[in-house]
Amino acid sequence: MPTDGSNLRPGEFEITDQEERLWRQVHPAWVHEGRVTSQLFSPTPKDSGELSVTRASVVTAEAAHQHHTEVMGLKSVGVYCVDVAEVQDVGLSAVDDSQVDDGEQRPPGHAFVDYKGVPSAKQQKRRASLLRDKAEKRGWQHGPAT
């Protein structure tokens, strides 16, 4: 469900390069018996429908992980990824919000997968599971198995 731009804030733009990879940090709680859960691609209530990712065209997986853990002080055991085409295949869009001027600090190359138009938690979980499956085929981009 690519946007027409009408719902974007100043400084945001939809990422249209379908081959661009989007890094997603893997919280240790999202790994069970060696497999990443669909929580990896499920927005939490605090996300307000914006699942944080980082653009591979701007920062490496290793640098994104380092910024997340060392600069922001957040937990991550590694990095998985999906590409923009895969996000679009499940009816979502990817939005770069790295230039939004709202007083919040964002990591370099910050973007989000836009879940705001998904009407139910069940549909969110289904899409998150599909994205996890796509990312899992690619495996770790940085972290335990790299």
Domain-located, residue 25? yes
How much is the average pLDDT of 81-91? 98
Residue 69 lies in a domain: yes
Percent of the chain with pLDDT over 90: 82
Q: What is the pLDDT of residues 90-112, one digit of tens each?
A: 999 999 999 998 888 889 999 99
Residue 68 clears pLDDT 90, i.e. is over it: yes
Domain total for the chain? 1
Question: Which residue type, as a one-letter code, is found at position 120?
Answer: S
8 lies in a domain? no
Looking at residues 57-69, what average pLDDT do you find?
Answer: 96
Tally Cβ neighbours within 10 Å of residue 54: 29
> pLDDT tens digits, residue range 11-27?
999 999 999 999 999 99
**Does residue 145 form part of some domain?**
no
The DSSP result for 25-71, as a single string, is EE-GGGEETTEE-GGGG---GGGTTEEEEEETTTS-HHHHHHIIIII
Q: What is the pLDDT of residue 1?
A: 38
Rg, the chain, Cα only = 14
Does residue 6 fall inside a structural domain? no
Give the separation between CA 86 and CA 121, rounded to whole angstroms: 20
